[in-house]
Amino acid sequence: MRYCHVLLTTATAVLASNTAFGLAGKCTVVHRVPETVVDTETSTADEAKRNTLSDDTPPFSAGATEPLSDTSSTTGFGSASTPSDTPASAAAKDTLSLCEKPRVVITEVDVGVAIDSNEDEAALKLVAIAALPSGGSRIAFHSGDGTVIVRELDAKDQLVSSSAAVEVPMHDFADIHADDKGFVLLGTRDAEGGGTLNCGNPSNMCGTAPDPAVPCYDMYLARFDGSSETWATKLTSSSASLPPYSSSKTGKDVYMIWWYAHHGRIAFDGTNWAAYFGAAISTSENGCINIHQGDRMKVVGPSGAITAHEDSFDWGCSHSAYERITYDNRTNSYATICKTDNNNRIMPPKDWATTIYPVDLGAANLGDLVPDSDPSSKKYWAIVSNGKGDNANVHLIHFAMDAAASQDITLEGAQANERAPHLASIGKGGMLAMWEGSSTGGDFAEGSDRTVYAQVLDATTGKTISEIVTLDKSVVGNRYQALKTYPDGSVAYLSKGKTSTSVQVVRFFGC
């Protein structure tokens, strides 16, 4: 395991850059505001052809699994959930079919309060969406310091007025999973170490402590039923007796959340929730506390207890920049990958001997993980930007968890520099890829001129099913957010809205 100086300045800047780590064709795009439906772009006269597809050496500690009891649907990328007949849009008909021209519906939702959002890896504020088994959604966003607000949307992506806003006390959050009774939220709360900004004693640290001082946090998975918090499970290990900066210069190792890497993902197996997230470890080295950046995965059961799941681990990738996870029904296990500066690659966090895909750290943004459509292959798709110099391309890679990628397919929009990719299952046997392009080289800057593209691909072969479509300029991308697959086969992304109090639900249908 490689440890680094307490400030991690150079490595963290490189990994977190990517913010701190005429191929486009027309599609049918509908913008919706409450009680209004307006078609703002027409498709070509010829009806799209339907393509219905058949389903044909660091230490790790595995955290006993609790009884199965929760029947909520799986939402995570590639997590197979049984499709329902509930349409996500009044206009939706056959939501499982995949056509040459996908349909995109954009709905502006005014939540009535100011929304805080950004793409700053070290001070990340997301907007996020999660599917409900009944066809609606829950959305989460920041509003004011220390508050995350969760609202319910119906199947037409409109606010449910009878469902009150739920305020969750968290410094920030990384992901949300929802069911018809409530939701779980992955996010940070103040550490309990006392001392300087809840960190304990900075004099325990090697070198010079941060000046000004930075706060310390713990990562929690919090369960809400209705508007009430049922449980909140701490996923890191700091406490009043073992502060984030440890109990002394030679104290025990401590897992905590420091000033960076406040990001992660939730996956669901039908009963338990797995949280894979960025973390920091304080460890005694040469008579003082050094701090190292990495990641951690824990599985929490329906009562809020951390389980001893064989896929969980205390410490995975070195300097993890993106943490990606899915539950695979084919193997009844969680699959995880990360981007790491350990030999600059995409790798499985519990298998340091395997390099899935080598990357340039400055160019690489990692999207989510989707099991392929072959029930016997045990292979996955992921999407990653890569390149040299100022420009990057988006690559769709196909791989087994114990081997290098066997396919590398370049996706191309209309720009020279393309990054910030996302991937999710769509329809029957398809994947939706979404990414951004810019005519300006280098890492994307928040608020710069970025174009969002989307394309439907075959989840067995990776071949294109649809043409590339260009989203409306009002849609704001964010490399740390996630696409979410719905029970009807559609996919949704949550964007900043056109006003300071609104968001946009961007809903993708295969046809």
Q: What is the pLDDT of residues 146-164, one digit of tens each?
A: 899 999 999 999 999 999 9
Residue 92: the pLDDT is 42
List the 36-41 sheet strands across, edge first: 36-41, 28-33, 103-110, 502-509, 491-496, 484-485
pLDDT in tens, 325-366: 999 999 999 999 999 999 999 999 999 999 999 999 999 999
Residue 372: the pLDDT is 97
- Inform me whether the pLDDT recorded for 166 exceeds 90: yes
Q: What is the pLDDT averaged over residues 219-226?
A: 98
Q: What are the strands, taking DSSP E only, across 191-235?
A: 217-225, 228-234
Peptide bond into 358 cis (omega under 30): no
30, amino acid identity:
V
What is the rounded distance in angstroms from the CA atom of residue 371 to the CA atom of residue 102? 21
Pairing of strands 137-142, 502-509: unpaired
Which of 244, 260, 251, 257 has its CA nearest to residue 194? 244
What is the rounded distance in angstroms from the CA atom of residue 68 to the CA atom of residue 436? 40
Q: What is the pLDDT averaged over residues 168-172?
A: 97
* Residue 320: band (very low, low, confident or very high) from pLDDT cuts 50, 70, 90: very high
- Inform me whether the pLDDT recorded for 22 exceeds 90: no
Q: How many CB atoms lie within 10 A of CB 436?
A: 27
Residue 42 is classified by DSSP as P
| pTM (predicted TM-score) | 0.85
Which of 328, 294, 331, 292 has its CA nearest to residue 314? 294
Residue 93: the pLDDT is 56
Q: What is the pLDDT averaged over residues 455-470?
A: 98
Pairing of strands 491-496, 502-509: antiparallel
What is the rounded distance in angstroms from the CA atom of residue 364 to the CA atom of residue 386? 5
- Inform me whether the pLDDT recorded for 31 exceeds 90: no
412, amino acid identity:
E
Which of 298, 219, 233 has its CA nearest to residue 261? 219
| Two tokens, residue 302 | 């329906």
Which of 459, 469, 506, 458 has its CA nearest to residue 486? 506
Residue 388: the pLDDT is 84
Q: What are the strands, taking DSSP E only, across 269-390?
A: 273-285, 288-300, 322-328, 333-340, 345-347, 357-358, 366-371, 379-388
Q: In CATH, what is the architecture of 9-509?
A: 7 Propeller (2.130)
Residue 279 is classified by DSSP as E
Q: What is the pLDDT averaged over residues 371-388?
A: 95
* Length of the chain, in residues: 511
Pairing of strands 379-388, 366-371: antiparallel
Higher pLDDT, 440 or 7: 440
Task: Answer yes or no: are the C-beta atoms of 385 and 365 closer than 8 Å.
Answer: yes
* Residue 473: band (very low, low, confident or very high) from pLDDT cuts 50, 70, 90: very high
Task: Answer yes or no: are the C-beta atoms of 129 and 80 closer than 8 Å.
Answer: no
Choice among 68-72, 249-253, 449-453 with the minimum mean pLDDT = 68-72
* Residue 204: band (very low, low, confident or very high) from pLDDT cuts 50, 70, 90: very high
Task: Answer yes or no: are the C-beta atoms of 341 and 362 closer than 8 Å.
Answer: no
- Inform me whether the pLDDT recorded for 69 exceeds 60: no
* Residue 174: band (very low, low, confident or very high) from pLDDT cuts 50, 70, 90: very high
What is the rounded distance in angstroms from the CA atom of residue 328 to the CA atom of residue 140? 25
Break the chain into its structural domains and give their ranges: 9-509
In the chain, % of residues over pLDDT 70: 82
